[in-house]
Every structure is written in structure tokens, then in C-alpha cells.
Chain A
Amino acid sequence: MTAVRCIDLCKTYRQGEEDIKALDHVSIDIESGDIVCLSAPSGGGKTTLLNSIGGLDRPDSGEIYIAGQRIDTLSKSGLAELRLNHIGFVFQAYNLIPVLTASENIEFVMQVQGRSRGERRDKSEEILAEVGLAGMGDRRPAEMSGGQQQRVAVARAIVSRPTLVLADEPTANLDSKTSDELMELFIRLNETHGSTFVIATHDQRVMGYARRLVKMLDGRIVDDIDQQAA
């Protein structure tokens, strides 16, 4: 089953006097349960593609489907619903809410979803244990290391069992050991929950974990490698 389908996406930014083509007729299908890496040098278009798939940004033209539903025509509110219930995000800078504890950060999404207090607490404890942070739920982000914060961010992204997890440079601020641990966590969660992972990165180590590697340059897909077959 196709989790993500992008058809002929174009997106141009104006930078000073210059038009930058962030997406140049990009088409891609991503199968459910896959782990795909989007790799490109800075400005290559990987973050724009990731944001477009996540409904954070709109392409100038083209169509995007998530689990068969066209999303590029959805309203702001419709996109928010989609992100809340179907997509989990992991950002480069962790982006946890600083005044909330780890548990509260995880529960926050579930609260917005309208889950009960008991369910939120149970799931939060369960997912913290799953990402290796059992007993650290009452710590605030400032009291945790970068790797721990990123694990909380991953826990937050997957706690409501999204069909799609989008990660933008998730290891950029982590050392190599922590990066490996995070990628192993991604693999484990992918196997356990069946979520599709799309990871934008230019980290070679991260690319090594992906089943599929999509290389981009100047807003275009220049290579698409099935790493399992290779």
C-alpha cells in the first residue's frame, strides 16, 4: 500500500532578486512501513519535500496523497487535523516545549486529540519505557541531554501511532553514538508499530539505516536506491 504519493511537485522561493527552485517536478511514491531517507546537500529540497508531505508547506503545483487522501488542497484546519492524527514529526532541534516535563510533552499531543487523562498517562509511561527513558518522565527538557531530548521528541511523534513519521535532520545535533542509538530506535519502532519513516538527512550513517535512499539535488530527485536490494 502506498503511504505517500507525490505527483509533479513544484515549489519556488524568492530569495532577494533570485528565484530558488526548491522542488522541481518531483514525483515519488513511498510504501507503507518503509524507511526512506531523503538525502541532499543544503538547499537541495529535502526539507521542502518533507514539509510538503507533512502539510506544513504547500507546493505551488502538483498533488500530494497521504494514505490515499489528497492533502495539498486541504484547509489550514484540515492540515492540522491530518498532522495531529496521522503524522508524527521529529525535528533537528528536538523542539520540545520547555516548560513541560517529558511526560507532559508526550501527553500534550494526546490531550489535543482528546484522549482521557488515564490513557494519556499510561501511554506516556509505556512509550517512555520503549524509547529507553523509563522513570525520566518528570524531567524538563533543560534537565536532559540532547540524545534524551530527541528520544522524547521521537516518543511524542509516535505515541499516537501515526501512519507516517517525518524526521528532519534528527541526528544533526547528536554525536555518532547517540545517532546510532536513535536510528536503531527508529528501526525498532518501525518494526514494532509498522509506521512509515521518511528522514531528511545528509548524514551518511543515517542513510545506512534506510531501506530506500532518495537523493535530491537542486529540487529534483536524481537517484532512488533500494538499499535492501543493494
Chain B
Amino acid sequence: MPIEVRLAWRNLWRQPKRTLLTTGAMVFSNVLLVFMISLQVGMYGLMIENGLKVFTGHLQVQAPGYIDDAKMRLVVPDAVALAGKLRDVDGISAAARGSTFALASSEDRTYGMAVMGVEPDHEPDVSSLPGLIGAGRYLDAADAAEIVIGKRLARNLKVDVGDELTLLGSGLDGSFAATVVTIAGLFETGIPDIDRGIGALPIGHFQDVFYMGDAAHMIVAVAPSLEAVPAAVAAVESQLPADGELVVHDWDALVPELRQSINADLGGALFMYGVLVVLVAFSVLNTQLMSVLERTREFGIVMALGLKPGRLGRLVLLEAALMGLIGVFAGAFLGGLLTLYFSVNGFTYPGLEEMAAQFNLPGRLHPEVTLLSLFAGPLVVFAFTLLATAYPAFRLRRLKPVEAMRAA
């Protein structure tokens, strides 16, 4: 080991309590950062998965332009067959879906609602909504004249399971479309907009009522994981006709607000992490400044022996780097262990499980240990440690050997 490294290492332990306190602060903040970042990564994964699970799926096949302006005539031809073809792609679940607006009338009231035509057999694979039926049952036949609606909408319309609803809307060709459907079940997602504004019909009946022929408005598909979405997009694209009549959008394009809300949350978290890192940096600055000040005489001596101020500064930086490396590795190790424990066993807090159960979502958060979550925080702390030491190191450049050697 070079003498400079030995010297730096031994200098650190001249004041063991001070070094331990500073290193301890680093390790503590690194453990916290590793756990928090891992928790956030896991939470964002859950947010995305659960946000997409209700409705949107990981990706959708649509007609060009439908994403910006959901016009009735922008359809996916032969949608049920195409969905079947996509289901043959390894790892992909897919279901065709039609979508329009209609007036829903009960005996007493009329409300506007979004009406979806879904494949009852395959919709549960791409949406959590079928699992959220609180009363009655989900749809079970592809062309039955029945519907499931949100509980709030049912309350507003003053209807219940078994009652009839009249739907009035426009067909694909612009003509008047109407049907009477029986309420098979009521769902409750906990999301007010969905619970009071959406209903689902079997796709066969939807196509009949709205003159869709064999078309629908989208194929909703789900990949095995979020990480697999880009590959799934490519695989789905390869199954589409090459005439450009259909396009594939991933979840990021379909629900940009999801990414925005994650970014907003991330911004807040980064601010908090920043405060933590700055606090640690000040602790390092204090330690190194004290350490440099109390060794002024010694620095004067080594300068007298011929050490240049720049090299002296590097020695002080080396001391901080050694301290920082302990912080990085001990922090990443301990933080990794803690995170690993919770990633296996899950992490919850009072009330979370009850709230999540209401939305048909898992009630425990599972932090996700990745290289990024393990080392991103500790490496930032390390960089700030060196930055905080730059000032004491820079001060040494102005040191004069004779004056330094006179210091007590």
C-alpha cells in the first residue's frame, strides 16, 4: 500500500470518535437513501402496474389518431380475431375493446356514460375491473344483452342488479343506436370517475348495437412485466398488417399523466434526499476542516520537506475519499440487506392494506433492489463528500511553510 494511502488512513483514525461519527452519519444516510430509493422504485412500479391494471393495459393497438381524438369511426378492423392472434405471442395477454358514449336511462333518471364493449373471457387478463364486482356477477357471454356498471352510477340511476337500462347513442355509421340491457353486476374501483361514468357490455352485443361489424376501437394488451413492454411493443407491431392502418402505443403514451405524477413525486423526494446529502456534506466539511486546522503545523513540515501544496490537498481528498468509500460500501451493504428483507417480506403501514384491498390491489409495498437503488444515493453522498473536502484542500494551497510550522 503506498505511503500516502497509509498516511491518509492512519490520519483518519487519529480522532477515532470524530471519524466514526462522520462515517456513521454517512452510513446512516446511505442506508436511508438505499431503502428509500428502493422503496420508491418499487412503489412507482406498483403505481404504474396498478394504474394500468384497471383499464389501460401496458399497450394498445389503435387506429392512427385515435389516441388524440377518440372518434367512433377510427376502428381496429376484425378486432376479436386480431386479439386472438396477439394472444398467441409468447407472454402477451390481449383483449379487444370497443368504446363509445351513450345516454343510460333507468325508469327514473338518465345519465351520460362511457360504454365499453369487452371480451368477457379475456378482459380479466388485461383489466382488474372484472375482479372488482361487488354485487351480481361479471359478464359471461360474448353477445348477451347485459351490462356491468359502477356502483355510483347505479346509485345515481337508482338501479340495482337485475334491473334494465336503456342505452341511446350513435352507431359507427352515424345512425341512431339503442338497446335495452340487464344489469348483471356492479363494480367498485374506488376511483369516482370510473364508478360513476363507465359500463361494460359483451363485445358481440356492443358491435351489434353500435353497427361496428367485426371492428372495435382498441386491442388492450399486457406484457409479463413493465420491463418487458418495449419487447412486447415490437412483438405486437410485427403481428400487425404492414399497411400502417394500425399503430401500437405503450402505456407512457397512453397515460402520460402517470409519468408526470411520478416525476412530481420524484421531484419532492429528490429535494428531501438533497437536504440529507447536504447535511452529511456539512458534517464532512466540519470534520475535514477541523482535521486540517489541527494539523497545520504538520502540513508546514511536509511542505518544508518538499511536498507541493497540490499534493497536500490530494492527501486530504484521499482521507475524505477513504471515509466516503466506507460510507458507500457499508451503506450499500446494510441498506441492501434491509431492503432485501422488505423486498421479500413486504412493507406496510397502518391503513395501507385496508385501502389497497378496496382497490383490489396488494396491500404491501415491496422495495425493489437494483444496482441503481443500491449505489445511486451512496455515490451522490461520496461525490458531495469530496466536494465538501475541496474547500479545506484548497485552503492548503495558500499555506506558507514557515507560518504553518509556527502553528500550535
Q: How many A-B contacts at CB < 8 Å in the complex?
A: 68
**A-contacting 9-mer, from B5-13, B44-52, B55-63:** B5-13
- B301 lies within 8 A of A109 (CB): no
A sample of 5 more A-B contacts (CB under 8 A), given A57-B402, A82-B306, A83-B304, is A56-B304, A56-B401, A80-B308, A81-B306, A107-B3
**B-contacting 9-mer, from A66-74, A91-99, A209-217:** A91-99
Inter-chain contacts of B4 with A (CB < 8 A) = 111
Per-residue interface assignment for chain B, residues 81 to 96, with 1 indicating a CB less than 8 Å from any chain A CB and 0 otherwise:
0000000000000000
* CB-nearest residue of chain B to A48: B402
Partner of A100, one of B7, B304, B311: B7
Given contacts A76-B309, A77-B308, A97-B302, contact A108 B401 (CB under 8 A): no
Question: Does B214 lie at the interface of the complex (its beta carbon under 8 Å from any beta carbon of A)?
Answer: no
- A85 lies within 8 A of B306 (CB): yes
* CB-nearest residue of chain B to A162: B306
Inter-chain contacts of B308 with A (CB < 8 A) = 76-77, 80-81
- B304 lies within 8 A of A99 (CB): no
Inter-chain contacts of A85 with B (CB < 8 A) = 306
Given contacts A99-B7, A99-B14, A104-B3, contact A112 B402 (CB under 8 A): no
Question: Does B350 lie at the interface of the complex (its beta carbon under 8 Å from any beta carbon of A)?
Answer: no
Number of interface residues of A (CB under 8 A): 28
Inter-chain contacts of B2 with A (CB < 8 A) = 111
Of the listed residues A56, A84, A91, the one surrounded by the most CB atoms of chain B closer than 10 A to its CB is: A56
**Which residues does B use to contact A, with CB under 8 Å?**
2-4, 6-7, 10-11, 14, 297-298, 301-309, 311, 401-402, 405
Question: Does A89 lie at the interface of the complex (its beta carbon under 8 Å from any beta carbon of B)?
Answer: yes
Q: What separation, in Å, do the CA atoms of A195 and B16 have in the docked complex?
A: 42
- A99 lies within 8 A of B305 (CB): no
* CB-nearest residue of chain A to B12: A99
By DSSP majority rule, is chain A's interface helix, strand, loop, or mixed? helix
Q: What separation, in Å, do the CA atoms of A108 and B2 have in the docked complex?
A: 10
Q: What separation, in Å, do the CA atoms of A81 and B311 have in the docked complex?
A: 12
Inter-chain contacts of B14 with A (CB < 8 A) = 98-99
Question: Does A170 lie at the interface of the complex (its beta carbon under 8 Å from any beta carbon of B)?
Answer: no
Question: Does A46 lie at the interface of the complex (its beta carbon under 8 Å from any beta carbon of B)?
Answer: no
Inter-chain contacts of A56 with B (CB < 8 A) = 304, 401-402, 405
- A80 lies within 8 A of B7 (CB): no
Partner of B306, one of A51, A80, A99: A80
Inter-chain contacts of A51 with B (CB < 8 A) = 402
* CB-nearest residue of chain A to B307: A112
Given contacts A76-B309, A111-B2, contact A54 B304 (CB under 8 A): yes
Q: What separation, in Å, do the CA atoms of A51 and B306 have in the docked complex?
A: 13
Q: What separation, in Å, do the CA atoms of A76 and B401 have in the docked complex?
A: 10
Inter-chain contacts of B304 with A (CB < 8 A) = 54, 56, 83, 89, 91
* CB-nearest residue of chain B to A99: B10
* CB-nearest residue of chain A to B303: A80
Q: What separation, in Å, do the CA atoms of A97 and B312 have in the docked complex?
A: 14
10 smallest CB-CB distances across A and B, nearest first, come from A84-B306, A99-B10, A83-B306, A95-B301, A80-B308, A56-B401, A111-B3, A57-B402, A56-B402, A80-B306
Q: What separation, in Å, do the CA atoms of A57 and B406 have in the docked complex?
A: 13
Inter-chain contacts of B305 with A (CB < 8 A) = 83-84, 89, 108-109, 112, 156
Inter-chain contacts of B402 with A (CB < 8 A) = 51, 56-57
Q: What separation, in Å, do the CA atoms of A81 and B308 have in the docked complex?
A: 8
Q: What separation, in Å, do the CA atoms of A82 and B7 have in the docked complex?
A: 23
Inter-chain contacts of A99 with B (CB < 8 A) = 7, 10-11, 14
Task: Report 12 cross-chain contacts, Cβ distance below 8 Å, ordered by A residue.
Answer: A76-B308, A76-B309, A77-B308, A80-B308, A83-B304, A84-B305, A97-B7, A98-B14, A98-B298, A108-B305, A109-B305, A112-B307
- In whole Å, how far is A148's beta carbon from the nearest beta carbon of chain B? 18
Inter-chain contacts of A84 with B (CB < 8 A) = 305-307
- A100 lies within 8 A of B6 (CB): yes
Inter-chain contacts of A87 with B (CB < 8 A) = 306
Inter-chain contacts of A104 with B (CB < 8 A) = 3, 6-7
- B306 lies within 8 A of A97 (CB): no
Q: What separation, in Å, do the CA atoms of A97 and B8 have in the docked complex?
A: 12
Q: What separation, in Å, do the CA atoms of A89 and B305 have in the docked complex?
A: 7
Partner of A109, one of B11, B306, B311, B401: B306
- A97 lies within 8 A of B301 (CB): yes
Of the listed residues B10, B306, B311, B401, the one surrounded by the most CB atoms of chain A closer than 10 A to its CB is: B306
Of the listed residues B305, B307, B401, the one surrounded by the most CB atoms of chain A closer than 10 A to its CB is: B305
Inter-chain contacts of B297 with A (CB < 8 A) = 95
Inter-chain contacts of A113 with B (CB < 8 A) = 306
Inter-chain contacts of A109 with B (CB < 8 A) = 305-306
Q: What separation, in Å, do the CA atoms of A111 and B3 have in the docked complex?
A: 7
Inter-chain contacts of A107 with B (CB < 8 A) = 3
Q: What separation, in Å, do the CA atoms of A97 and B302 have in the docked complex?
A: 8
* CB-nearest residue of chain A to B310: A77
Q: What separation, in Å, do the CA atoms of A84 and B304 have in the docked complex?
A: 8
* CB-nearest residue of chain A to B312: A80
Q: Which residues of A13-46 are within 8 A (CB) of B? A: none
* CB-nearest residue of chain A to B308: A80
Inter-chain contacts of B301 with A (CB < 8 A) = 91, 95, 97
Inter-chain contacts of B303 with A (CB < 8 A) = 80
Q: What separation, in Å, do the CA atoms of A87 and B303 have in the docked complex?
A: 12
* CB-nearest residue of chain B to A107: B3
Per-residue interface assignment for chain A, residues 122 to 165, with 1 indicating a CB less than 8 Å from any chain B CB and 0 otherwise:
00000000000000000000000000000000001000000000
- In whole Å, how far is A159's beta carbon from the nearest beta carbon of chain B? 11
Inter-chain contacts of B311 with A (CB < 8 A) = 112
Q: What separation, in Å, do the CA atoms of A107 and B405 have in the docked complex?
A: 21
- In whole Å, how far is B339's beta carbon from the nearest beta carbon of chain A? 37
